[in-house]
Structures are given as structure tokens and as C-alpha cells.
Chains A and B, each alone.
Chain A
Amino acid sequence: MSNPENVMSADYKEALTSLLFQLADDDLMYAFRGSEWLGLAPHIEEDVASSSISQDSMGHAAMYYQLLEELGAGNADDLAHSRPSSERRNSILTERVNGEGVYMETPLYDWAYAVVRSYFYTQAKKVKVESLCKSSYTPLAEVAIKVKMELYYHRLHWETWFKQLMGSTDVARKKMTDAMTLVMTDFGDMFSFGTKKQLIESNRLIEPEEVLLQNWKMSLEPVFTGLQMTVPAVPVPKKNGRNGEHTKDLDQALRTLSEVYMVDPIAVW
């Protein structure tokens, strides 16, 4: 079952496709929100550094879409640009706007939210990618090994920001605490596989949801202990992005990211 050349059972392919859409859509949306920050970060040197993380993440999304393309799900660019929100499988957290306003006009983006979202998301991604390195689907395991390489920097970068802002002024700590509340409200579907849970786990594509969640908590614990805080509890999801349930924030994102593509989806751009 580990080779694409082998005949894949319908169940296996269904589970694999579903998981790949979750991974690809997560990184695409995370990178898209990061790209909206470009040119607007609080410090020029940070603007340059964090853009690399957005680029890396979009590169990861492209690798997952490529795996989907190889499975016959469609062309990678088409999968990224033309699927309606009901077909998207990203987590709610990754689709959330960066703050009030639009990047073209007068954006009031929240850097505390950017740091907390990025840090929690990167840790979750790291836990998943480490598990994916042992996936039953070899091409996915091979991609995971590559992705993992770039996550060392992403984690170091966001952990540094998280610790420094948490350990700084009262204003910063308050903003960070508020951001954490916002981020955790949407964190319920981060480790969910949605309705495909059974299929994905039984085919050993990745470890079970509960194991990943536990690993995530453990990975954050040393930092939180150092800050004399406890890792926040992950809520039950109100909406589950893995099942195509989304907020209006995703519609706004999709309109923007596909604006030019949709002028002529068949044309070469």
C-alpha cells in the first residue's frame, strides 16, 4: 500500500486524499495570511525574516497539492485557487483575518495574534510532520522529511517572539494573552481529521488525533512552565474546517487569492 504504483484501495485513497487536502489547505491559508503582512510588520528586519516563513509554508502547500495532483485529484494550481470554501479542509485558525481592515487600505493587523497563531500553528505542524515522517504512504513521508527541515527555523523564530513579548511590558503581555484566547477559540479542529478520522487513522497515514494533541501540549510545556503559565486547553470545535465548515473570513481570503486566476482559469499566467 505504500507505493503510488501499487493499486490503492478506494478507502485508502479516500483517506489519503482527505488528509492531503487538510495539510495543503492549512499551509496555503497560513502562508496567505502571512503574505498579507508583507511590508507591514513592526520592524523592517522582521518583515524580511517572516516573509521567508510564509514562502516556505506556501512551498510546503505546493508539495502537498503536487501529491494530490499525482493522485489524479486535479492540477495543483487549480486545487489551490478554484475550490469553493465548502470544499476547503483547512482549520478555522488558519483562515482567520489578521485583524481589522484590508491590506490595501488601512489594515489594523494584530501582531500579537500573528505571533501566537504562528507559534501554536507551527508547533502543531511540527508534531504532525514528525508523525508523517512514518506515514504508510511513502511519498508523503518523503515530503514530510523535507518539510521538517524548515520547521526548525520557523519554531525558533516564533518561539523567540512568543517568549520575548510574553516577558516584556504589561501592554504586550495583555495583548498576547488576549491573542491566545482568540487563537484557542479556533483551535478545536487543529488536530481533527473530521469525518475521515477512522479511515485516516486505521490506514496509519498519521498517528491518531489524541496522540498528536498530547504531543503538542508536551512540546509547549517547557516554554509555558518557564513563563509560569499553563498550556491552554483545546476546546471542542464549534465549526470543523476538516468537514468544510468555515467562516466568512475564508470567503474573503479565497476571493483575494483567486482574483487574477479567475479572470481566466485556463490561461497560463
Chain B
Amino acid sequence: MAEEQSFYQEYEIFSKRTHSSPFQYQFSLLAPNEDMALVLAQENFMRREAVVDIWIVNRKHIRKMNAEEKLSLSRLDNKDYRMTKGYGYLRKKWRKYEQEILDEKEILSWGGKRK
């Protein structure tokens, strides 16, 4: 039906559950324009979950990867030097100096009040 062809646009819907959470993909819907997509989004996909914000993205504005481009995503599993696990031996070394390694748990605990 050419009639319906131009009616629908595909909108991808994203939402945030709380102010501190990241945007999360929900699903897609058909609507003629952004304003209409916006009043349809929450009740279609988030009837039973809290939402503090919604993004509406026209699918035509999403640059997708084709099959060949997806081949560019693979990596060899030889990059320990990027990860903490490549530096695990430090824990033992520091023991000699009676100090602790600055691991993720320790470093991320520095954000709060000084203890």
C-alpha cells in the first residue's frame, strides 16, 4: 500500500529509569512525527517501569554498520596490558613494602567524604 508507505516513520525509543542511570534502548514504534512519537512512547514501552526521561530518535538518523563493517569489531584477546589483570603481580610486590595495591575497589572508594 503506497497509501501507508509515507504515513509511518520508525522511531527508536530510549528511556532513563532514574536520574543517575544511563539511557537504555526500549523498542521502536511507528508515528508520523516526533511530537506524536513522544506522546506514544511511554505508554507503549514503559507502562510498568519508572521513567525520568525519554529520547526519540528517527531511525533514518542512525548510522548502522553493515556486515563487512562489523568484521572490524573483532579484537585479539592479547591486550592484558590494557587491563588491571595485566598488573595483578603488583599486589604481591607491594606486600613487601607493607602497602596495598591501588585496586578498583580502593580507588573508587575515594569519591566520598575523606575518612
Contacts and interface: CB of A to CB of B under 8 A. Distances in A.
B56 interface: no
A215 interface: no
Given A52-B43, A52-B47, A45 B35 contact: no
A49 B35 contact: no
B40 interface: yes
A52 B45 CA distance: 12
Nearest to B32: A164
Given A160-B39, A164-B35, 17 more contacts: A43-B30, A45-B31, A45-B40, A45-B44, A46-B40, A48-B43, A48-B44, A49-B39, A52-B43, A52-B47, A153-B39, A156-B39, A157-B39, A160-B35, A161-B39, A164-B32, A164-B36
B29 interface: yes
Contacts of B38: 160
Interface of B: 29-33, 35-36, 38-40, 42-44, 47
Provide the main secondary structure of the chain B interface. helix
A45 B47 contact: no
B87 to A, nearest CB: 51
| Centre residue among A45, A51, A156 by max chain B CB count within 10 A | A45
Contacts of A45: 29-31, 40, 44
Interface residues of A, number: 13
Interface string A155-194: 0110011001000000000000000000000000000000
Contacts, number: 30
A161 B40 CA distance: 11
A160 B36 contact: yes
A112 B108 CA distance: 57
Interface of A: 43, 45-46, 48-49, 51-52, 153, 156-157, 160-161, 164
Contacts of B40: 45-46, 48-49
Nearest to A168: B32
16 contacts: A43-B30, A45-B30, A46-B40, A48-B40, A48-B44, A49-B39, A49-B40, A49-B43, A49-B44, A51-B43, A52-B43, A52-B47, A160-B35, A160-B39, A161-B39, A164-B32
A157 B32 CA distance: 15
A48 B38 CA distance: 13
Contacts of B47: 52
A140 B42 CA distance: 29
Contacts of A157: 39
Nearest to A158: B39
A153 B46 CA distance: 14
Nearest to A45: B40
Contacts of A164: 32-33, 35-36
Contacts of B35: 160, 164
Contacts of B33: 164
Nearest to A52: B43
Contacts of B31: 45
The 5 closest A-B CB pairs, nearest first, are A49-B43, A52-B43, A45-B40, A157-B39, A160-B39
A50 to B, nearest CB: 8
A48 B31 CA distance: 13
Contacts of A156: 39
A156 B36 CA distance: 10
B2 to A, nearest CB: 17
A161 B35 CA distance: 10
